[in-house]
Amino acid sequence: MLNTLIDLARKLARDAKTDKIVVITKEDVELMNDEFTFILTPKRFVTMLESMFYTIEEEFSGKDIFERALTFLQVSEMAPLQIYLRDLDLKGRAVGVLDLDILKGVMLIDVERSKLQRALEECSERVDPNVLKAVLNVAINVAHKGREGKRIGTGFVIGDVEEVLKRSRQLVINPYECHDIEEKDVKNPSNWESIMEFAQLDGVFVLDENGIIVSAGRYLEVSVKDLKIAKGFGARHLACAAITRETEAIAVVVSEGGDVRIYKDGEEILVIDSTMI
- pLDDT surpassing 80 at residue 31: no
Output the pLDDT for position 74.
76
Are 198 and 148 contacting, i.e. CB atoms less than 8 angstroms apart? no
Q: What is the pLDDT of residues 45-74, one digit of tens each?
A: 888 877 777 666 655 555 555 556 666 677
- For residues 266 and 58, the model is more confident at 266
Span 96-109, average pLDDT? 88
Predicted local distance difference test score (pLDDT) of residue 228? 77
Q: Return the pLDDT at 34.
A: 76
For residue 266, what pLDDT band results from cuts at 50, 70 and 90? very high
pLDDT band (50, 70, 90) for residue 262 = very high
Backbone angles phi, psi at 17, to 5 degrees: 60, 50
Assess whether pLDDT exceeds 60 at residue 120.
yes
What are the distances in angstroms from CA 26 to CA 96, 192, 238, 250?
14, 30, 37, 36
Mean pLDDT, to the nearest integer, of 86-99? 90
> Which carries the bigger pLDDT value, residue 33 or residue 9?
9
Quick one: pLDDT at residue 69? 65
Q: Which domains does the chain have, with CATH numbers?
A: 2-110 (no CATH), 119-276 (3.40.1700.10)
What is the C-alpha separation between 23 and 30, in angstroms, rounded? 11
Supply the mean pLDDT for the chain: 88
Report d(CA 53, CA 50) in Å as an integer. Answer: 5
Report the amino acid identity of residue 69. A
Dump pLDDT digits (tens) for 193-236: 999 999 999 999 999 999 999 999 999 999 888 887 777 778 89
Burial class (CB in 10 A: 0-12, 13-18, 19+), 133: middle
Among the residue ranges 105-109, 123-127, 128-132, 147-151, the one predicted with the least confidence is: 147-151
> What contacts 95, CB < 8 A, 6 or more positions away?
9, 12, 13, 16, 18, 20, 21, 22, 106, 107, 108, 109
CA-based nearest residue to 160, from 123, 202, 200? 123
Buried b or exposed e, range 22-49, using 16+ CB within 10 angstroms: bbbbeeeeeeeeeebbbbbbbeebbebb
Q: What is the pLDDT of residue 63?
A: 53
pLDDT-above-90 percentage for the chain = 55
Angle of helix 63-85 versus helix 129-145 axis, rounded to 10:
120
- CB contact set of 34 (below 8 Å; sequence gap of 6+): none
Say which residue, 172 or 273, is predicted with more confidence: 172
